[in-house]
Amino acid sequence: MLLHEKRLTPRRHANIEAIIAFGRTQMACIVRNVSEGGAKLELASVRGVPDAFELHVPNHRPQRCRVAWRSLKEIGVAFAVQGAIPA
């Protein structure tokens, strides 16, 4: 069975250590793939992560993100400003 791609922009594989920040809280994550419009983040647990936060990737400005989907240890996010974090 073939799966049809639903994304508007293609994702590129990544393995980038980053920080999710909200309020005074920071959580380590790994950016697993990225596109112009969003990314997939892997965390130890998604518990406690709000629906919107800033993503801090080394050598890039902080990026506002909105959660599009969640699983136990992964979050799919949409960027507030597209194309902000190149792979």
Q: Which domain holds residue 29?
A: 12-79
pLDDT per residue as tens, the chain (87 positions): 445 555 566 779 999 999 999 999 999 999 999 998 999 999 999 999 999 999 999 999 999 999 999 999 999 999 987 555 544
pLDDT of residue 33: 96
85 is a domain residue:
no
With respect to residue 2, please indicate whether it lies within any of the assigned structural domains.
no
0.85 surpassed by pTM: no
The whole-number pLDDT of residue 49 equals 97
Asked if residue 62 belongs to a domain, the reply is yes
In CATH, what number is assigned to the domain containing residue 68? 2.40.10.220
pLDDT of residue 87: 45
pLDDT of residue 30: 98
Is 54 within a domain? yes
Predicted confidence at residue 84, as pLDDT, reads 54
Measured between alpha carbons, how far is 49 from 8 in angstroms, rounded to an integer?
25
Positive or negative CA dihedral for 44, 27, 52, 41? negative
Domains in the chain: how many in total?
A: 1
Supply the pLDDT for residue 48.
Answer: 95
